[in-house]
């Protein structure tokens, strides 16, 4: 300024100040964009693992942009994707992946609340005879009706899943041995009285049920109960079917 090279130092300082403000605003905008992109990536990462509980927060975007468009598209597709990935298309129940995911959530909740968790392993008795007598198309219709009947019979909080063939599982939160056995009896009675529309009127279907329950003390309780319920189911089938058996310590169903 003394040399006359900066005749208007005030204007130059204003230019510098405006430039600094612009750089700061740009950095803040990029930081906000980066944060939103990270949130979007996190949502997609959870979806890749089969967890569709998270959704993109559209309300945080005051000025919609391409990131918002992608987030909105995901939110619209979320329920449809969850149904495709976690649901068995034939029975309408959860598949094994859906069961594992929901079991993890329910077990965590039971651990926090110091509750019991129960598992019912359900097998349609002599289902192979249905396929042999009436064909596999009729067998598929029966599986659809079985899935619907189990969902109607189970409580709203229960998780009903088809884990393969004619084998189903019910995860019953906050249920001990007595409560789980009551649910098992209700399931068996529902099958005894149900008229399957895809079968002749005189054809009735029964089920065998293995029951296991325990306090939720660690994350492995669901895996343990699934194995115990399967063992109790094997005892029920060996004992004549159309019955429920509760697992107990010392049960050795598979020794033979």
Asked about 231 being catalytic, the answer comes back as: no
Give the integer Cα–Cα distance in Å for 233 and 175: 18
Q: By C-alpha distance, which of 123, 162, 119 is closest to 241?
A: 123
**Per-residue DSSP letters for 108-171?**
HHHHHHT-EEEEEEEEETTHHHHHHHH-HHHHHHHHHHHHHHHHHHS-TT-EEEEEETTEEEEE
Task: Indicate which residue of 106, 141, 166, 231 is catalytic.
Answer: 166
Give the integer Cα–Cα distance in Å for 91 and 9: 79
The residue with tokens 């306090």 is: 215
Residues carrying an active site annotation = 166
């Amino acid at each position: 300024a003394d040399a006359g090279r900066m005749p208007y130092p005030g204007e130059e300082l204003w230019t510098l100040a405006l430039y600094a403000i612009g750089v700061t605003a740009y950095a803040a905008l990029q930081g906000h964009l980066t944060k939103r992109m990270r949130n979007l990536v996190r949502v997609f990462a959870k979806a890749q693992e089969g967890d569709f509980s998270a959704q993109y927060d559209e309300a945080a975007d005051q000025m919609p942009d391409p990131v918002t468009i992608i987030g909105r598209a995901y939110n619209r597709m979320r329920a449809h994707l969850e149904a495709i990935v976690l649901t068995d298309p034939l029975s309408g129940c959860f598949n094994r992946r859906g069961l594992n995911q929901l079991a993890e959530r329910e077990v965590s909740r039971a651990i926090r609340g110091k509750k019991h968790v129960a598992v019912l392993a359900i097998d349609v008795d002599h289902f192979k005879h249905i396929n042999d007598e009436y064909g596999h198309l009729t067998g598929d219709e029966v599986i659809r009706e079985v899935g619907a009947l189990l969902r109607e019979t189970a409580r709203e909080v229960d998780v009903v899943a088809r884990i393969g063939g004619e084998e189903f599982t019910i995860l019953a939160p906050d249920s001990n041995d007595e409560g789980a056995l009551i649910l098992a009896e209700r399931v068996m009675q529902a099958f005894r009285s149900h008229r399957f529309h895809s079968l002749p009127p005189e054809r009735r279907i029964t089920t065998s049920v293995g029951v296991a329950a325990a306090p939720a003390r660690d994350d492995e309780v669901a895996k343990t109960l699934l194995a115990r319920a399967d063992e109790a189911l094997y005892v029920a089938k060996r004992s004549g079917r159309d019955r429920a058996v509760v697992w107990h310590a010392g049960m050795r169903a598979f020794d033979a």
